[in-house]
Amino acid sequence: MHFTSFLVAAASVLPVFGQLSGKVGPLTTHAAKSAKKTCNVLSYGAKADKTTDIGPPLLAAFAACKTGGTVVVPAGEFAIKTWVTFESGKGWALQIDGTISRTSGGSGNMLFVRNANDFELFSSNGKGVIQGNGFEDHKTGKRDGARLIRIEQSTNFSVHDIILVDAPMFHFVISKSSNGEAYNMAIRGGDMGGLDGVDVWGTNIWIHDVMVTNKDECVTVKSPSKNILIENIYCNWSGGSAIGSLGTDTAISSVIYRNIYTVHSNQMMMIKSNGGSGYVEDVVFENFIGHGNAYSLDIDQYWSSMKLIAGDGVKLSNMTFKNWKGGLANGAQRGPVKVACSDKTPCTDINITDLSMWTETGNKQTYSCRSGYGNGFCLKKGTGAGYAAITSTQVAAPTGYSAPVMKEDLKTAFGTAASIPIPTMPASFYPGTPPRSRLAGQ
């Protein structure tokens, strides 16, 4: 059920959706689209033989259904050798019930939806898979190949109940789009940087109930963005979620991250930049659970992995971090709170409440704040000029830090030299919280 269905069902649930500014998702159901016209790729030359290129049949089926209808990839195993750009479709859907596996090289976007309106990409049985076979690139160190799915300059759309595996580069990108929804997704990638799970920038977009395994971005907001709601996210041995990296003329506002579970990742949440300009404001990070992560709350405006760019720093303001629980890998090396703001453009109104976390190694942890103003831990009150880093050490576990674990937590990451198995969609993406929409096939 997409967001519009919730709106019709009960006005009382509206506050749940936080920062969204309006309806998201397709304007018409995929059932209505299918009733108008169905374009099965088997009728356009596709074969479920793991060899025949499904690219041209997909494009031909789209041409027949792009003004209203559903393109169907039925159950079976298909190969893709040529990438497909679905340009300017309106009132159409792409139903993937089988497995589409990459069998050739090249960069770009394997499935590229551009300038679409009233669009839906989904699996009706919850078994639709795009297998990128990225290990074939990664075992030689290559990581600049194809993205699996990109949605660009599109509106009124959804992507759901689909599994993405082992992208050569990024797994799923939403760029310059609006009124979109992505949900009920399992993403599993290699243990290498540059293999992002979900990257999003746009307006009025809801991402929820997504599990990501990789070694880079879990679910990340980039600029420009406004009215983004991200909730029920399972970063299962990942790089962790983030905002950024941030550059010149950054414009991000009205963002909520809610119900984020992160295990064995680089961080629970990072806001990253090095120089730059613009703003990130009116952001909430609530109900975070972590286990075994390197960093927890990490604001780093001196991020060494990013080349210094022109500008006095992106202005960070009106940020709330509340109800963070769990453990961290080594609190003496990387404490649960690191706020390193630009000395030239200090952070203001940073509020950290109900953060109770404890080190899983040793018996002490540190907190560090630099040029940050607000409330909580080592932040200075009010406003003012930049200041040198302030650190403090805690030697006793705080009360209430214990947090539940998920049964699907991986014991180790996937490498880069062998095929990555297709995951099973978890029943839940955050402890004790059912998916917002029922999983397909269940």
Residue 380 and residue 369 in contact, taking contact as beta carbons nearer than 8 Å: yes
Quote the tokens at residue 188: 């599993």
Per-residue CA distances from 22 to 48, 178, 203 (Å): 40, 10, 10
What is the rounded distance in angstroms from the CA atom of residue 280 to the CA atom of residue 289? 23
In a 3-state reduction of DSSP, which class is residue 319?
Answer: strand
Q: Which of 275, 297, 281, 304 is nearest to 368 (CA)?
A: 297
Q: Which of 166, 222, 163 is nearest to 189 (CA)?
A: 166
Q: Which of 308, 299, 371, 359 is nearest to 333 (CA)?
A: 359
In a 3-state reduction of DSSP, which class is residue 178?
Answer: strand
Point out the residues that are catalytic.
216, 291
* DSSP 8-state code for residue 322: E
Q: What is the DSSP string of 257-296?
A: EEEEEEESSS-SEEEEEBB--EEEEEEEEEEEEEEEES-S
Residue 163 and residue 130 in contact, taking contact as beta carbons nearer than 8 Å: yes
Quote the tokens at residue 417: 């030299």
What is the rounded distance in angstroms from the CA atom of residue 240 to the CA atom of residue 285? 14
Q: Which residues contact 411 (CB under 8 A, 6 or more apart)?
A: none
Task: Name 180's bridge partners.
Answer: 157, 205
- Residue type (1 letter), 210: V
Q: Which residues of 16-35 are buried (b: 16+ CB within 10 A; e: fewer)?
A: ebbbbeebbbbbbebeebbe
Q: Which residues contact 13 (CB under 8 A, 6 or more apart)?
A: 6
Rounded to 5 degrees, what angle do the CA atoms 141, 100, 202 make? 75
Quote the tokens at residue 182: 């992505």
What is the rounded distance in angstroms from the CA atom of residue 264 to the CA atom of residue 374? 29
Residue 195 and residue 171 in contact, taking contact as beta carbons nearer than 8 Å: yes
Strands 250-263 and 225-236 come out as parallel
